Structure 1
Amino acid sequence: MFDFAPDATTPPAERYRQLADAADALTQGEKDSVANMANLAALMWEYVPDLNWAGFYRVVGEELVLGPFIGRPACIRIPIGQGVCGTAAETGETQRVEDVHAFPGHIACDAASQSELVVPILQSGSVIAVIDLDAPTKARFSVEDAEGIETLANRIADRI
């Protein structure tokens, strides 16, 4: 049985280190990307406070297709280059959006989402998926959050 439960008083940098270590332990040796993404979505839900959505979109051709997640039902397909997720997939760069309603072309899958953090996952220099985190408050995600999820993305890229 796995019991990955962070202490609520753990500082963010340590919390993200623990998240990356838990992700590594949970996915090591598992080759099924769907199973790994499902467990990783659950881990992010446990380790990253104040979320209303945590999960993945996978690159399939010229669009992103919904992957495992935790939260309300979501958009199934997003064209590359559209919305926050599509922009991250197109540019290969992390998108940290303080107010999603001010983001040009934002795709509102859940009206409760106010801020968003999207981190691309790369293999051999190409984006294969994105990690998408949504929060019900504006300006929820800090640079430290972005760096922590980028570390996670780098650590698990070969398991997606």
Structure 2
Amino acid sequence: MAEHLILSHITKAERYAELLPQLKALVSYERNAVANMANIASALRMAFGFFWVGFYLVEGQELVLGPFQGDIACTRIPCGRGVCGTAWAKAATQLVPDVEAFPGHIACSSSSRSEIVVPIKDAQGQVLGVIDVDSDQLDDFDEVDALHLEAIAELVAQCLR
């Protein structure tokens, strides 16, 4: 797994299903959370060709940029602001088919058209950070992405303990 992913199925759900055990195997050999998040971001981008994928971690009343793959990003996001801050404040996945229609959207890149943000929660439900995935296509994410990215968020939460 260190150099490539094995992904043979063509549907999105099948691709996620193949990816998750490979991610679990990858992080099982590394204790450093930053290294694990970096590899997870890379694997997600490789597997799906996402425009941008990365992590923001809670620090006080802000989310601070963590490991990511893609263009330069916003460094700090206040709680409740933008899609990421809203996912944190509501402790719920935010599925945004058109970022221009999302009130208070923070445009880190003008190429971003749709977005999904999934909170990373500890065992008590407290948000530790978020997984942020952007697409340069409108309406590119759905409930399949939400379901599987939530499972990946649980894996990341284990890495952050």
**Normalised TM-score (structure 1):** 0.94
Q: Which residue of 2 aligns with 1:65?
A: 64
Equivalents in 2 of 1:18, 1:79: separation in Å? Answer: 35
Q: Which residue of 2 aligns with 1:6?
A: 7
Equivalents in 1 of 2:88, 2:19: separation in Å? Answer: 23
Equivalents in 2 of 1:3, 1:99: separation in Å? Answer: 32
Q: Which residue of 1 aligns with 2:110?
A: 111
Q: Which runs of 5+ in 2 are unaligned?
A: none
Deviation digits for residues 96-130 of structure 1, max 9, x if unmatched? 00000110000000000000000001012111010
Letter in structure 2 aligned against 1:140 = D
> Is 1:85 the counterpart of 2:84 in the alignment?
yes
Q: Give the secondary structure class of the aligned counterpart of 2:147.
A: helix
Q: State the 4+ residue runs in structure 1 displaced beyond 6 angstroms.
A: none
Letter in structure 1 aligned against 2:92 = E
Q: Per-residue deviation at 1:5?
A: 4.1
Q: Per-residue deviation at 1:156?
A: 2.9
Q: Equivalences for 1:42-61 in 2 at 5 Å?
A: 42-49=42-49, 51-61=50-60
Q: Which residue of 1 aligns with 2:93?
A: 94
Q: Check conservation: 1:121, 1:128, Cα contact below 8 A.
A: yes
Q: Check conservation: 1:5, 1:47, Cα contact below 8 A.
A: no
Q: Per-residue deviation at 1:133?
A: 0.3
Q: Which residue of 2 aligns with 1:31?
A: 31
- Paired residues, number: 158
Equivalents in 1 of 2:37, 2:156: separation in Å? Answer: 9
Larger RCO of the pair (alpha carbons < 8 Å, separation 6+):
1
Q: Per-residue deviation at 1:10?
A: 2.1
Letter in structure 1 aligned against 2:3 = F
Identity %: 46
Equivalents in 2 of 1:5, 1:117: separation in Å? Answer: 24
Q: Per-residue deviation at 1:59?
A: 0.6
Equivalents in 1 of 2:18, 2:29: separation in Å? Answer: 19
Q: Check conservation: 2:32, 2:159, Cα contact below 8 A.
A: yes
Letter in structure 2 aligned against 1:38 = A
Q: Per-residue deviation at 1:46?
A: 1.3
Equivalents in 2 of 1:142, 1:6: separation in Å? Answer: 20
Q: Check conservation: 1:19, 1:152, Cα contact below 8 A.
A: no
Q: CA RMSD in A?
A: 1.2
Q: Which residue of 2 aligns with 1:21?
A: 21
Q: Per-residue deviation at 1:134?
A: 0.2
Q: Which residue of 1 aligns with 2:148?
A: 148
